[in-house]
Chain A
Amino acid sequence: MTSVLTCAGLHKRFGDLEAVAGVSFTIAPGETYGLLGPNGAGKTTTISMVCGLLEADAGEVFVAGERMTTTTTSIRALVGYVPQDIAIYPDLTGRENLVFFARLQGLPRTAARERAAEVLGVVGLTDRADDRSSEYSGGMKRRLNIGIGLLHRPTLLVLDEPTVGVDPQSRNAILASVEELAGAGMGVLYTTHYMEEAERLCDRVGIIDAGALRAEGTPKDLMETTGAPDLEAVFLELTGKQLRD
């Protein structure tokens, strides 16, 4: 079976800093892969290359078997991207945000409206669909942020720390949505600092530090290999306890 995502030997350098140094991993259909690492480890740079926002200095990204670059366009329709920061238009309503991005994904007007209504239901915003998103709470904005990434039913969903700053209820709703999407066959690339989220959601995790993958496997395998009691202990053992910027 063709993997949803294949990253092969990715390298990216910014001046003297080697942000990503030979990262390789794959994600199978329906699999949730957690990319875990401290701040500045190279997670967001890797995601940017996966989504075609950054060109790799070396190595390749394949989405459903097709090569992703910064200039390819059609393959982008296979990727749903949920950025770390909330990226919505505050002067537009939740529905307008969704319809706009759905149209940009190529959905016709009517289909875009219908799909927006469905996604509003998925992220629990139907009741507030026609309010300006600037009036939403932090958790509602986060859910809308995720909803935009789901609009076109992508093959690969990339979630970059989607639960930062949300209340437990919203977090639970977000995690439940991700589980449901993965259950429906979508491949998910998930980054987070919350180890309990990774343990709950991820079929496999890759622990990245200083631009390189330090370990990869199921949470259970990693705990057994390192002898750590939980994923957080694994993470700290592999990345150290010193503070990061």
Chain B
Amino acid sequence: MKVYFLKRFLELIPVFFAISIIIFVIMNSMPGDPLLQMRMQNPRAMANDPQRMKELREYYRLDDPLPVKYFSWLKSVMIGDLGYSSMYKTPVIDLIFSRLPNTLILTITAWLIGLVVALPIGILSAVKKYSVFDYSTTVFAFVGISLPGFWFALIAIIIFSVGLGWFPVSGMSTYGVTGTWNVFVDRLRHLVLPAFVLGLVQVASWVRYIRTSLLEVLDQDYVRTAYAKGVPDRKVIIKHALKNAMIPIITIIALDIPYFFGGALIIETVFSWPGMGRLMYNAVISSDYNLAISCLMFLAIVTLISNLVADLLYVLVDPRIRMGRKGA
């Protein structure tokens, strides 16, 4: 099994490089000259002095051919030097680390909400196929995947924040709240809407997937064998069918983790949540090169890690993979 892991891990390395190249190329195709940016932000220091310009260009290697730029960037990333953010004037690493926990709170909560809601509903609708419950679940699932996330967020704000006043409109916390309990409740109130919006949209696609996976398993011969042995219905579903269905389900749930980060981007924007998503968005539209490219690379790494995690889970659950396809 360890060999399997090593193999998968090694396979991801070239992919990592390929992705980094793509991200690098895209980022470098963006219009805008970093030096121009710096000049706009600090006109006095960057007075129209051609000699100084030339020196700066050389210092920052702005005119080097693309591959050279790529490798020097890669080198600094490897040692952890992500550069300075031109927008915030702080090292990119600090920015990322300060915003990351916020996004994690949001993402993990939404993920948990999604799981807790989708699993039982998906399982029940498969077991009660074609019942009223199943049909309504299907419709609900369709609604969920058709809803524009940001629109759902806006409507939620209109109804629950503006209309009913139950939750705050934006941000992560209210200024000036003191006391551990009060702070905790305040944070919770701020978390509810964004987490639910982010989570519920995912529930819709998960419910359908869980239902389909379970249905496929229920159609298998070995489930029929279990019935033929006289195993009671509930046991067949839980012990025989579900365990098998969990394999694809777990993989999808793990593989969807990057989507939570991506979805978080727009939700964070709507709710002004101070997370990495909003950071990424601001970086990209302000042409903050260092910050933007680092955020994208971060996203890529999250993706690769979750792929690996999905593989790990798959191996743990399925003995056929665990043992390799050996003969008797």
| A and B: bona fide binding partners | no
Q: Could you tell me which B residues sit within 8 Å of A by CB distance?
A: none
Q: Could you tell me which A residues sit within 8 Å of B by CB distance?
A: none
